[in-house]
Amino acid sequence: MAGKRSGKKRPQPGKSPRPTREPRGEPPLSLERIVATAVELLDTQGIDGLTMRRLADRLGSGVMSLYWHVDNKEDVFDLALDKVLEYRAPSDRAEPQGWRQEAVHVLEGWRASMLRHPWSASLLPRRALGPNILGRLELLANALSKAGVADADLNVAIWSLWNHVMGSTITRASFELTDDDQAAAQQRLAGLSERYPTIERSRLLLDSDWDGAFRKGLDYLLDGLAPIR
């Protein structure tokens, strides 16, 4: 947090006093810079690659300085996750497409964002909902509402779709392995193939059509959830 003792308040983006301390070295620390660098690190080094020390190094600052802007490492994860899920608010006008296109658009965008940063998929299950996530949920809720889904059924619909996105993203991210791992998995499976004949036959782990599965499943869900097409 900004201000150790202030408990919960982050610095208002309203005005920026900007002391401009450093003559010409590094720009001063800021939440944005910290989060952006954390995302960089996560993208390049993976989830275990993010350490406070490395983060500080990249920022050209001391480790403990980070803790002025951030509560702890968990906080960094939360912020990085939400950052990655930023979304462009739909340009209010235009897009009078059907509700269904709208919903599909929201969900596919969501999935795409997460696939762009594979660590986010395995992180999200443990983290709280940030504003951007909530924003996306709100968008989805709206689309469904417009589609005539009754308020009573709204939660079921939202969660089913959310689950589909989460599940397919996580699954895909965790199976998109390095070639080494891929080979190892194939190896291991081959050894046991007599016990899993059906899986073996369909080559489930090897050449699945992730995007196709996502789209198809999504269609079925939408068909069921809001029958009016």
Partner DNA sequence: AGTTGACTAGTACAATGTACCATAGGACTA
Partner DNA sequence: TAGTCCTATGGTACATTGTACTAGTCAACT
Give the residues lining the site for a copy of itself (CB under 8 A): 121-122, 125-129, 131, 134-135, 137-138, 141-142, 145, 151, 154-156, 158-160, 162-168, 170-171, 173-174, 185, 189, 192, 195-199, 201-205, 208-210, 212-214, 216-217, 219-221, 223-225
Out of DNA, a copy of itself, none, what residue 36 binds, judged by CB under 5 to 8 A for its kind, is none
Interaction of residue 67 with DNA, rule CB under 7 A: yes
Around Cβ 18, how many Cβ atoms within 10 Å? 9
Tokens in use for 160?
């089913």
Smallest gap, in angstroms, from Cβ of residue 229 to a copy of itself?
14
Query: Which partner from the list DNA, a copy of itself, none does 199 bind, CB cut-off 5 to 8 Å by kind?
Result: a copy of itself
Q: Are the C-beta atoms of residues 158 and 112 closer than 8 Å to each other?
A: no
CB hemisphere CA count around 152 (13 angstroms): 0
Q: Give min distance, CB of 41 to a copy of itself, in A.
A: 18
Q: Which does 69 bind (CB under 5 to 8 A by kind): a copy of itself, DNA, none?
A: DNA
Minimum Å gap between C-beta 12 and a copy of itself is 16
Interface with DNA, residue 45, by CB under 7 A: no
Q: Which of 11, 90, 109, 135 binds DNA (CB under 7 A)?
A: 11
Handedness of CA 71, 35, 112, 141 (dihedral sign): positive
Q: Does 152 bind DNA (CB under 7 A)?
A: no
Candidates 64, 89, 152, 228; binder of DNA (CB under 7 A) is 64
Q: How far is the C-alpha of 71 from the C-alpha of 53, rounded, in Å?
A: 15
Q: Which of 130-137's residues contact partners 24+ apart within 8 Å by CB, and which partners?
A: 130/78, 130/79, 130/81, 130/82, 130/85, 131/82, 132/82, 132/83, 132/85, 132/86, 132/87, 133/82, 133/85, 135/87, 135/89, 136/85, 136/87, 136/106, 136/110, 137/162
Contacting residues toward DNA, per CB under 7 A: 2-3, 6, 11, 17, 19, 21, 28-29, 50-54, 61-65, 67-69, 72-74
